[in-house]
Amino acid sequence: MCGIVGYVGAKRNIPEILLEGLKRLEYRGYDSAGLAIGLDSGMEILKSPGKVKELDRKLKAGWTQDKFKNAKVGIAHTRWATHGPPNEVNAHPHSDSKNRIALVHNGIIDNYSELKARLSSIGIKFKSETDTEVLANLISECYEGDLCSAVAAALKQVTGTYGIAVIAKDQPDKIVVARKGSPIVIGVGDDEAFVASDISPLLPYTKRVIYLDDNDITVLSRSGIDLRNMDNVPVTREIAHIDWDANAAEKDGREHFMLKEIEEQPLAISNTMRGRMDHNLVTAKLDGLNLTPRDIAGVSRIVIAACGTSLHAGMVGEYYFEDLTSTPVEVEQAAEFRYRNPILDRDTLVIAISQSGETADTLAAIREAKQKGALVASICNVVGSTIARETGRGVYLHAGPEIGVASTKAFTCQVATLLMMALKFGRAGRLSRSAGQKIISELEKLPDLVRQVLDSSDKIARIAKKYSSAKDFFYIGRGYLYPVALEGALKLKEISYIHAEGYHAAELKHGPIALLDENVPVLALANNIPGKDKVIGNIQECRARKSPVIATATFGDKDILKHADDVMEIPECSDFVTPIPTVVALQLFAYYVARERGCPIDQPRNLAKSVTVE
């Protein structure tokens, strides 16, 4: 999804800081990039389709060291096309027809067509197909020397979402930023200030950040940060201190962020659980939920809303709540939930799960739930993200930044969090102390269980190589491993581009079995959990259609070799936690298949890390 970075100050080389910032935003997924630099003599805008390195090349081709020597302000952008194809004209920054201002924008201006018609009727000519160019012209029309007032006046005419950064040709020492529905973070420096759409470009320069709220508008200059609302009333926002360091967002010597993130799961899961086990009361301490045992007793129903991988985690959570509590649970695709007429009341707890905390559909779902009076909580990774802030109560994963577009450590930490939540709810109700103790001790083994799977990655890589030329794949599982089959298939398709479907093992014979033959491998999750015998039966159905079978099985299961061509071993553990080591094997499998096929693993085509449009 689109990314923004900006800098004002005299301490740094502006083109370098902008390009470096854009590189740190690459993980979000994008298709073009651009920058605008304010100079005493005017404003330079440079854009390019494709990757940031193209922009860099273009800049250096026309760049003399002296050109930007005295520059004090710059903004830059990576664009993920929404209005008009990814090309140079549609790339940001956009300027107005008089070239007075330059603007970068994340989000979508819903009423841009009518604004464009109005501006066209007064003679303004547009070069691009974007909604952003319309906003640039609207700001320019309002501009009479005070950029902040012009931006506020223009935004008052706009419906939709935006995170924006604007500079003016005649004020080459300030940036005006504003947000509504699209995140903007300000980096606080000494005699300098930074802006970005998330914290990763800011980390090398400052750990002090301010998250803007919706309808905030702010002027950044060397002399400070002037925070206001749209009615020009000064507002105060807390300065947060970020403990992620810049290295945490780098690859640590691995070929891909995805591999680094798969391998750091023992640590990520430990961080998720750190300080949260209450051995005395045999429960989980999740203070951010802000729910007393009495509040929990009042919850008559739980609805989990999420998208993609987070949705699959939610599906595992449904099993947890149903096994450990007496509370009925429904798991909803956030996009669908929002457009139905969900029946919610004060006794319903809606749990939004989102790694980024910015997914538009999930955000819309919680807004709907709040409006209908439900209790709303979230499970997010990104601290200070919109979903986390809007729900007000929830649990952070503390998994560290997830840069690879394919979500890995967020999934395992979400599942661990859901198990802790179900433990907390269970212990406030019918779950016995001894059953609770068993869950805590299984949770505490998780980092080690994952390490054991990681130790077998060479074997998984060999199996992956063998199947890497397949065109289609099925993943099947039952019980706790059914959502894991869905997640394993999602991982394979998104990074290797192999068509892969996750199915409940029993559903295969209700249709998809027609597709099986010797060219369609089936990955069957056949660990020792209830339902294993039936999965073995389903494997037989696949083999009878000549499908090669790869199975996950519990360490030491000699029998499985009779049923499967290849086996990925998963350490012995209780059914509760088995989704976590099992999914790690599937993540590695997908990773090595994609690597074998030479795919761009961290930035798969057509995908974005944070999906902030519906």
Min dist CB 524 to ligand F6R, Å, is 22
b/e map 193-228, b = 16+ CB within 10 Å: bbbbbbbbbbbbbbbbbbbbebbbbbbbbbeebebb
Residues 6+ apart with CB under 8 A from 471: 498, 499, 519
Helix, strand, coil in percent for the chain, rounding step 5? 40, 25, 40
Cα–Cα distance, 201 to 6 (Å, whole number): 9
H and E: helices and strands count for the chain: 18, 26
* DSSP per position, 263-310: HTHHHHHHHHHTT-EETTTTEE--GGG---HHHHHT--EEEEEE-HHH
b/e map 5-35, b = 16+ CB within 10 Å: bbbbbeebebbebbbbbbbbbbbbbbbbbbb
Min dist CB 135 to ligand F6R, Å, is 26
State which residue, 32 or 309, has the beta carbon closest to ligand F6R: 309
Element (H, E) at 376: strand 375-380
The two structure tokens encoding residue 520: 């369609």
List residues binding ligand F6R (CB under 6 A). 307-310, 354-356, 359, 362, 406-407, 490, 494, 610-611
Min dist CB 30 to ligand F6R, Å, is 16
**One-letter-per-residue 3-state SS of 134-196:** HHHHHHHHHCCCCHHHHHHHHHCCCCECEEEEEEECCEEEEEEEEEEECCCEEEECCCEEEEE
Cα–Cα distance, 89 to 346 (Å, whole number): 50
Min dist CB 356 to ligand F6R, Å, is 3
Residue type for 21, please? G
Min dist CB 139 to ligand F6R, Å, is 31
State which residue, 267 or 613, has the beta carbon closest to ligand F6R: 613
Cα–Cα distance, 492 to 467 (Å, whole number): 12
Min dist CB 334 to ligand F6R, Å, is 8
State which residue, 32 or 354, has the beta carbon closest to ligand F6R: 354
Min dist CB 50 to ligand F6R, Å, is 23
Min dist CB 604 to ligand F6R, Å, is 9
State which residue, 399 or 611, has the beta carbon closest to ligand F6R: 611
Q: Angle 409-427/308-324 helices, nearest 10 degrees?
A: 20
Options 2, 148, 307, 380, the catalytic residue = 2
State which residue, 147 or 382, has the beta carbon closest to ligand F6R: 382
Min dist CB 402 to ligand F6R, Å, is 8
Pairing of strands 329-333, 283-284: unpaired
State which residue, 20 or 602, has the beta carbon closest to ligand F6R: 602
Min dist CB 506 to ligand F6R, Å, is 25
Question: DSSP character for 16?
Answer: H
Contact between 167 and 143 under an 8 Å Cβ cutoff? The reply is no
2 is catalytic: yes
Residue 380, beta-bridge partner list: 354, 396
State which residue, 309 or 552, has the beta carbon closest to ligand F6R: 309
Q: Would you call 515 exposed, middle or buried from its count of C-beta atoms within 10 A (0-12, 13-18, 19+)?
A: middle
Question: DSSP character for 130?
Answer: -
State which residue, 49 or 308, has the beta carbon closest to ligand F6R: 308
Cα–Cα distance, 332 to 334 (Å, whole number): 6
Distances 454 to 27, 220, 235 between C-alpha atoms, Å: 24, 46, 49
State which residue, 176 or 406, has the beta carbon closest to ligand F6R: 406
**What 3-state class would DSSP assign to 107?**
coil
307 is catalytic: no
Options 116, 424, 532, 609, the catalytic residue = 609
**What 3-state class would DSSP assign to 528?**
coil
Min dist CB 245 to ligand F6R, Å, is 22
State which residue, 327 or 610, has the beta carbon closest to ligand F6R: 610
Q: Would you call 571 exposed, middle or buried from its count of C-beta atoms within 10 A (0-12, 13-18, 19+)?
A: buried
State which residue, 494 or 569, has the beta carbon closest to ligand F6R: 494
Cα–Cα distance, 571 to 70 (Å, whole number): 61
Per DSSP, which regions of 460-602 are E strands?
A: 472-477, 499-504, 522-525, 549-554, 566-570
Distances 297 to 317, 326, 394, 465 between C-alpha atoms, Å: 18, 10, 17, 51
Q: Which residue is nearest to ligand F6R (CB)?
A: 308
Please give the positions annotated as active site: 2, 609
